[in-house]
Amino acid sequence: DHVILYRDEDFAARIKEITGGKGVRVVYDGVGKDTFPASLDCIAPLGMFVSFGSASGPVENFNLAVLGQKGSLFATRPSLFAHAGTRTTLDSMAENLFGVVASGAVKIPVHARAKLADAVQVHKDLAGRQTTGATIMTP
């Protein structure tokens, strides 16, 4: 395993080094604008780019031809609503998820707790990318 902090080093070059120049099969990118171009540089030919967030802002003016130039890459931006299009499907997915969490197989760490009275600051911290993991507000 390798830890790469995208703000501290050229993560695309580091990934190429780790993989012997091959790149990775999939990149899951929750940052967005700041990491998008380099994220594509990390992917092996015929690999997949999965955007699941835009913490630094949305990716703008994306030219699809870049996917071909970088090795016939695939890109997707999954949406819960596409996967859980009906109430029945959503209920089933929720039941499965909560069952796995309740069994202890998946643990959701709580990194911060705050009072509801501090909601404004909590939202500022979330928007400013000052939090990690789950933050719980209580009355």
Claim to verify: residue 92 and residue 73 sit in the same structural domain: no
Query: Could you read off the pLDDT of 38-78 as tens digits, one per residue?
Result: 999 999 999 999 999 998 999 998 999 999 999 999 999 99
Residue with tokens 């939090």: 131
Write out the two tokens for 40. 């594509």
Q: What is the pTM of this model?
A: 0.72
Claim to verify: residue 27 and residue 70 sit in the same structural domain: yes
- What is the pLDDT averaged over residues 3-31? 96
End-to-end, the C-alpha distance of the chain in Å comes to 40
% helix / strand / coil in the chain, to the nearest 5? Answer: 35, 20, 40
Mean pLDDT of the chain, nearest integer: 94
Q: Which of 107, 114, 104 is nearest to 139 (CA)?
A: 114
99 pLDDT above the threshold of 90 = yes
Q: How many domains does the chain have?
A: 2
Claim to verify: residue 95 and residue 133 sit in the same structural domain: yes
- What is the pLDDT averaged over residues 105-111? 89
For the chain, how many helices (H) and strands (E)?
Answer: 6, 5
- What is the pLDDT averaged over residues 109-113? 90
Claim to verify: residue 88 and residue 67 sit in the same structural domain: no
